[in-house]
A and B are shown apart, each in its own frame.
Chain A
Amino acid sequence: AQSVTQLDSHVSVSEGTPVLLRCNYSSSYSPSLFWYVQHPNKGLQLLLKYTSAATLVKGINGFEAEFKKSETSFHLTKPSAHMSDAAEYFCVVSEASGSARQLTFGSGTQLTVLP
């Protein structure tokens, strides 16, 4: 069975400072991992994905994430926060079984960016 834990339900940073959103996962197989962003009353937009290639994954809008198998983590980072980054972020794990059912969403981290 797979699971994903987003360690912080809320994160608040000042504009121009680094962002760190933490995600730990549990998977019986080689997982694929995704980060999505959701703005209010909108759907989810893919930020980046890890699919067993390079462990450091670069995404859109300056975000990146590092897959650390020994720590079962996939934390999302950005060097400098922008006001437009304020949104909810979801970490998602997908197992190697190939079934469309095997997609598990974290409960989300709400990012607030202070001026």
Chain B
Amino acid sequence: DGGITQSPKYLFRKEGQNVTLSCEQNLNHDAMYWYRQDPGQGLRLIYYSQIVNDFQKGDIAEGYSVSREKKESFPLTVTSAQKNPTAFYLCASSISGGQNQPQHFGDGTRLSIL
């Protein structure tokens, strides 16, 4: 079945540590996205990529980094500069980055601080 796979489902970070969240899709979509979800809030865009080897900052990119070396993969690194990383992280993809294209979501990674 086609879809988006995020791993791990749960992740713990120590102070001063960088961690990387994996996102893989087999939908042959060009565009991929990373969102952060906090309790009682909607999703906020961290980074997005409309094509391989290109990505753009979203609304809350500080303390995060991404790469897009392959069409299928869009890993997110939460760096030690992100002072409040505890959240639910969702990866999504769409056929293109156009207005009318719905996004397909993975099942998320929950990041907590030890």
Contacts and interface: CB of A to CB of B under 8 A. Distances in A.
Interface stretch (A11-19, A68-76, A95-103): A95-103
B108 interface: yes
Contacts of A46: 102-104
Contacts, number: 68
A13 to B, nearest CB: 21
A24 interface: no
Interface residues of B, number: 31
A100 B107 contact: no
Q: Interface residues of A: mostly helix, strand, loop or mixed? A: loop
A115 interface: no
A49 B102 contact: yes
Nearest to A107: B42
Contact of B50 (A97, A100, A105, A107): A100
B90 interface: yes
Chain A: number of interface residues, binned into ranges: 20 to 34
Instruction: Please name the 5 residue pairs, one residue from A and one from B, whose CB atoms are nearest each other, closest first.
Output: A43-B105, A105-B42, A100-B97, A44-B105, A105-B43
27 contacts: A9-B40, A41-B107, A43-B90, A43-B105, A43-B107, A44-B43, A44-B92, A46-B104, A49-B102, A51-B100, A90-B42, A94-B99, A95-B99, A98-B98, A100-B31, A100-B33, A101-B48, A101-B59, A103-B45, A103-B103, A104-B42, A105-B43, A105-B44, A106-B42, A107-B41, A107-B42, A108-B40
Interface of B: 4, 6, 31, 33, 40-45, 48, 50, 56, 58-59, 88, 90, 92, 94, 97-100, 102-108, 110
